[in-house]
Amino acid sequence: MAHYERLSALDASFLGLEDSDSHMHVGAVSIFDAGPVLTPEGGLDIDRIRASVESKLHLVPRFRQRLAHVPYERNPIWVDDTRFRLAYHVRHTALPKPGDERVLKRLVGRTMSMPLDRKRPLWEMWFVEGLDGGQRFAIISKTHHCMVDGIAGADLMSLILEPLPNTEISEPQPWRAFPMPSRARLLVDEAARRLSQPVEALSSVVGAVRKPYDALAAVGEGLRAVGNTFAPALNPASATPLNEAIGPHRRFDWLAMPVTDLKAIKNAFAGTLNDVVLAVVAGALRRFFIRRQLDPDELRIRSLVPVNVRHQDERGQMGNRVAEMIADLPVHIDDPVQRLKLVTEHMADLKKRKRALGAEIMTQLAEWTVPNLLVQAVRLAGRTRPYNVIVTNVPGPQIPLYFLGCPMRTAYPVVPLFHNLCLVVGLFSYNGGLFWGLNADWEQMPDLHDIVTALEESFAELQQRADEVEQHERPRPAQKPPKHALPRKQARTSAAVLAPKGAARR
C-alpha cells in the first residue's frame, strides 16, 4: 500500500528559496558532558549513540521520508525512503586538540555551509568528540526548514532527548517503508484536491451569508492586516552592511545569558522578555554601525520577528506554523532605557494592528494557488529591503535534558540566511539560560565577534540601569531608636531648649 503526504505551501516555499548560496536548513549546536557515552579509549561510542537515535525514530516518522513530486505541477510530497540508512544521517567527527569552543564554532560554520542532499531524508546529526580534551561533546544538528520551524524543532528536541539521566536503550520498533505512489494516483489525488477548493470556498460563502456582520468584520480585519504587512516594503529600511549579496559560506558565533537577568530588566522597565531582546539587539547594532563608520542617527533599521501561530493542539507536529512581524529597531537612540521603551510601545502597536495575521493570510492564499506565490513574495522582499536583520526567539524546555545520561548544558540555534541578508540572530531558552546563535555570511561579516561583544555591552548597559532602579525602589530598613531615646517631637523641643542662645540651627 502506497502512502504519501503533501507539503504545505509554506513548507514548500523553503524548497523554492534554496539555491547554491542560500541553504534553507535550520539547526543547533548543543554541548553535553561526555562521561556516560565514552569508550574505554576516551572517544564517543558511536554505535551506542546510533542505537539510541534509532530507538526514537518512530516518534518522528518524517526522519525516514524523502522528497518526491507530483507529475506536471511538481508540487512536493513526502514519501518513505526505501534506501534509508541511519549511518548516513548520524555522523561522527572530532575536533583537533585542545578542542576549544573557537574551533567548534568554525566547524559549525563549515557544516552549515553544506546543503542537504534532497535525494535523502533532509536531516543530519554530527556527533563531535574532543571538546575540552574529551570532557564534553557536541551535537550539530541540521534539518531542512521545509520539515520544521523553530517551535517544531524545540518539540523535536524534547522527543529525542529525555528529562531523566536514563542510560538504557529501548529496542527500535519495526519499520517498513511504504512504496512510492504511482503517477496515476498522484494525478488523481491532485485533481480531486483542486476540485474540492471551490466547495470549501462555497461553504465559506454560505457561512458569511448566515452571519454577514461577522464575515464583514473578519474580511475588514484581514484586509487591514495584509495592508499593514506590505507597508514596510513601500518604505524600505536603510541600506547597511547587513544587506549585501551573500555567498555559500558561513560564520557562526554565540553567547549565553541567564533568563533571570533579562526578566529583571523586564520587571524594572515593563514590556516583555522579547522586547528586552530586541532592545539589546538595537543597542548592539548601534555600536556595530559606529564601528563600521556609519551614523546610526541617520539609519532606519528594522527586524523581521517570526511569530508562532501554532495552536496548542498542534504541538509536536512537524512542518512550519509561523507568521512574521516587521519591527523597528531604534538604533538612533543612545539611551538604553529609552530604546527599550520605544521597542515595547512599537511591539504593542504591531500586535494591536495584527501584522502577524496579514502574513498568515498570505500563507493561506498560497495554499489556494501555488507555493511559488510565497517564494516570489520573499524574493521581492529581499529586493525592496523591508527589513535588515532577522531576530527569532524560540522558547524551549525549562528543565534539564539528557542524551544517554549526558546532561545538555547549552543549545545554540542556527537560523538560515536569505538573499541580501548577512546576519540572523536566533535565540533559544533552555533550563534557565537564554542562548544566542549568530549565523552570518563568511565574506560580508568578518567582524561577527564584534557583534557578540556589542550584544554583551548593550545588555550590561540595560542591566546596570535596571539595578539602579531596583536599588532606588528597594525599601530602606527601619532603624531602631536608641534605648531611652525621647520621642522625635519631644527630642526636637528639648534640643531647642538646650541649645545655647544664638546658636546656628542645623
DSSP state of 239: P
pLDDT digit string, tens, across residues 94-147: 999 889 999 999 999 999 999 999 999 999 999 999 998 888 999 999 999 888
Closest CA to 246 of 13, 28, 16, 416: 416
Task: Give Dmax over CA atoms of the chain in angstroms.
Answer: 114
Low-confidence ranges of the chain (pLDDT < 70): 1-2, 149-159, 194, 196-234, 308-323, 354-383, 474-506
Closest CA to 118 of 182, 54, 72, 68: 68
Catalytic, out of 25, 144, 145, 332 = 145
Return the pLDDT at 381.
59
Backbone φ and ψ of 400, nearest 5°: -70, 140
Q: Do the bridges between strand 389-395 and strand 423-430 make them parallel or antiparallel, or are there none, so unpaired?
A: parallel
Distances (CA, A) of 68 to 76, 79, 173: 6, 7, 25
Angle between helices 212-234 and 372-384 (to 10 degrees): 40
Return the pLDDT at 478.
58
Cell of 2: 502506497
Residues 40, 417 contacting (CB under 8 angstroms) = no
Q: Rounded to 5 degrees, what angle do the CA atoms 23, 104, 449 make? A: 75
Burial 265-300 (b: 16+ CB within 10 A, else e): bbebbebebbbbbbbbbbbbbbbbbeeeebebeebb
Q: Rounded to 5 degrees, what angle do the CA atoms 359, 364, 367 make? A: 135
Is 145 annotated as catalytic?
A: yes
Residues 24, 14 contacting (CB under 8 angstroms) = yes
DSSP state of 167: -
Q: Which residue has the cell 506590505?
A: 230
Residues 116, 3 contacting (CB under 8 angstroms) = no
Burial 405-424 (b: 16+ CB within 10 A, else e): bbbbbbbbbbbbbbbbbbbb
Strand order in the sheet with 76-80: 5-6, 76-80, 65-69
CA torsion through residues 321, 11, 376, 196, sign = negative
DSSP, collapsed to helix, strand or coil, labels residue 480 as coil
DSSP strands (E only) in 3-52: 5-6, 25-33
Closest CA to 35 of 407, 481, 444: 407
pLDDT digit string, tens, across residues 266-325: 999 989 999 999 999 999 999 999 999 999 999 999 999 987 544 445 444 444 445 678
Residues 241, 423 contacting (CB under 8 angstroms) = no
CA torsion through residues 329, 239, 389, 378, sign = positive
Backbone φ and ψ of 390, nearest 5°: -110, 135
CA 200 from chain centre, in angstroms, equals 34
Strand order in the sheet with 25-33: 90-94, 123-131, 136-144, 25-33, 406-414, 402-403
Q: Do the bridges between strand 65-69 and strand 76-80 make them parallel or antiparallel, or are there none, so unpaired?
A: antiparallel
Return the pLDDT at 211.
44
Domain covering 199-394+415-472, topology: Chloramphenicol Acetyltransferase (3.30.559)
Q: Tell me, what amino acid is at 16?
A: G
Say whether 199-394+415-472 and 5-178 share the same fold: yes
Cell of 300: 532606519
Return the pLDDT at 223.
38
Return the pLDDT at 396.
87
Domain spans of the chain? Answer: 5-178, 199-394+415-472
Return the CATH number of the domain spanning residue range 5-178.
Answer: 3.30.559.10
